[in-house]
A and B are shown apart, each in its own frame.
Chain A
């Protein structure tokens, strides 16, 4: 039982990281209607920025994370402006998709160039040991607790932001109808930039947490979590913010439990099987809205 509980909690923690990454996918998809496959690599860049700040420049962890968030936000806005914006309104969505994949490889290779392929061993941003319950049989690491709390705070903050501010409402409007939004005086370009900024800023936090939990950093660190977070976003219903959160948590728990109780090698296969089954039953994902095509 304790074993199960332990695994479950670490699953929630892993899931929170997926969820934070998935938020970036889902917001960008919802608002700019594009899949930003470079999002996973922004996490990796975030990880390196935290590493550089903390290890090379001796920042304290919070300052290092802040530095990474600023860096990733700028990176996110720049990629959107330089690589994606010129393609907006292109006849085929495929052009943007391919560009995003290209951007992903670009970020990986530029990191390879700057940081080399040698894995960096990351020091956790959370110094706290954590708590131990049930006479030390159930140990919950500090980073686990912080990760779960961070995920919850981000979700709440994002919901507030979207529902209570002009910029958030503008995001909803743009996600529904770009043309009508522009004609009502909403600056679509600014709104999309803001979306990328928020998604990339969150990616930096995810990067710090991910590397704290799994402390090896290479230029390919972001790739697999990126894909899994994308799966989480689709599972939850892409475009939906609570969906990304639920999808992420579900995926994290499923992955942890399968790794512990079924097979480490099969864990990923199981995760993707879950995705396929959910999509067979609910093609729009758990929280996705029903597709309505205008005739």
Chain B
């Protein structure tokens, strides 16, 4: 078997006396659609924050493509190739849809500020290239018609899509989606499932997502990890995990 794209070994973090994530292990192959589920407060978003360097783990290691990225700063991890979306949408609301995506592109188009101030040809060339690349991405998500709209004026479902587009703009190898279906109606969720699958195929992306919507999880994830009280409760193929009595107990109670 190939080397996994993401490998997490014995990852733990404590806040004071609370072990929020304890001995967490995870292995994701390239191109996989992987789900991280668990009751509220199980530590799912904490795992995302650990993966993106927002929190520093107390113990354990994170390997991306076999390279140890544990303890890297958030911005370095973005350069390493992990991008994410947020549970409560965190777009730049006062910027246009296009500018939101362009912000994700910034570090791929490294012109210096002085180039822009002097309006050298390089500035125009790179700005045009950025515009084109951003529009391409928006087209993929059917948002190109709204490029000039303020992000805050987009309907909810499209804001979710824009967040995914912005994350993809940073050119990641691994995309983390934090509750992408939160607040969506069944139709929107269905559309989102298609979008996620499409992103995986079109961008050859590996996706790790947190979700409570079992229809979405059961519908698109190939493998699951269930977290409960910061510990892995169950790990394996989606069908098996979802029918596991312990998992059902953790979710619904006895």
Say yes or no for B86: interface residue by CB 8 A criterion.
Answer: yes
Query: A42 to B201, alpha carbons, bound, how many Å?
Result: 55
Interface size on B, residues (CB 8 A): 33
Q: A170-B106, A185-B78, A186-B106 in contact; A179/B113 too (CB < 8 A)?
A: no
Q: Which residue of B lies closest to A182 (CB)?
A: B74
Query: A165 to B113, alpha carbons, bound, how many Å?
Result: 7
Query: A170 to B105, alpha carbons, bound, how many Å?
Result: 11
Chain B residues lying within 8 Å of A167, measured Cβ to Cβ, are 113, 116
B117 touches A165 (CB 8 A): yes
Say yes or no for B107: interface residue by CB 8 A criterion.
Answer: yes
- Tell me how far the C-beta of A196 lies from the nearest C-beta in chain B, rounded to whole angstroms: 14
Query: A173 to B113, alpha carbons, bound, how many Å?
Result: 16
A184 touches B54 (CB 8 A): no
A184 touches B109 (CB 8 A): no
Residue of B86, B94, B117, B169 near A180 (CB, 8 A) is: B86
A166 touches B90 (CB 8 A): no
Residue of A170, A176, A181, A188 near B93 (CB, 8 A) is: A176
Say yes or no for B141: interface residue by CB 8 A criterion.
Answer: no
Q: Which residue of B lies closest to A188 (CB)?
A: B75
Say yes or no for B12: interface residue by CB 8 A criterion.
Answer: no
Q: Which residue of B lies closest to A172 (CB)?
A: B95
B117 touches A161 (CB 8 A): yes
B106 touches A185 (CB 8 A): yes
A183 touches B103 (CB 8 A): no
Chain A residues lying within 8 Å of B111, measured Cβ to Cβ, are 166
Chain A residues lying within 8 Å of B107, measured Cβ to Cβ, are 185-186
Query: A186 to B117, alpha carbons, bound, how many Å?
Result: 19
B75 touches A182 (CB 8 A): yes
Chain A residues lying within 8 Å of B116, measured Cβ to Cβ, are 161, 164-167
Query: A181 to B91, alpha carbons, bound, how many Å?
Result: 9
- Tell me how far the C-beta of A210 lies from the nearest C-beta in chain B, rounded to whole angstroms: 25
Query: A155 to B79, alpha carbons, bound, how many Å?
Result: 34
Q: Which residue of A lies closest to B82 (CB)?
A: A183
Say yes or no for A263: interface residue by CB 8 A criterion.
Answer: no
Say yes or no for B229: interface residue by CB 8 A criterion.
Answer: no
Say yes or no for B153: interface residue by CB 8 A criterion.
Answer: no
Query: A75 to B111, alpha carbons, bound, how many Å?
Result: 26
B52 touches A183 (CB 8 A): yes
Chain B residues lying within 8 Å of A179, measured Cβ to Cβ, are 54, 90
Chain B residues lying within 8 Å of A170, measured Cβ to Cβ, are 103, 106
Produce 1/0 per residue, B73-117, CB < 8 A to A: 011001100011010101111110001001110110101010011
Say yes or no for A78: interface residue by CB 8 A criterion.
Answer: no
A173 touches B95 (CB 8 A): yes
Q: A161-B117, A166-B111 in contact; A173/B92 too (CB < 8 A)?
A: yes
Say yes or no for B170: interface residue by CB 8 A criterion.
Answer: yes
Q: A185-B75, A186-B75, A186-B103 in contact; A172/B84 too (CB < 8 A)?
A: no
Query: A170 to B116, alpha carbons, bound, how many Å?
Result: 14
Chain B residues lying within 8 Å of A165, measured Cβ to Cβ, are 113, 116-117, 123
Interface on A for B, CB 8 Å cutoff? 161, 164-167, 169-170, 172-173, 176-177, 179-188, 194, 289, 294
* Interchain residue pairs A-B with the least CB separation, the first 3: A165-B116, A185-B78, A180-B90
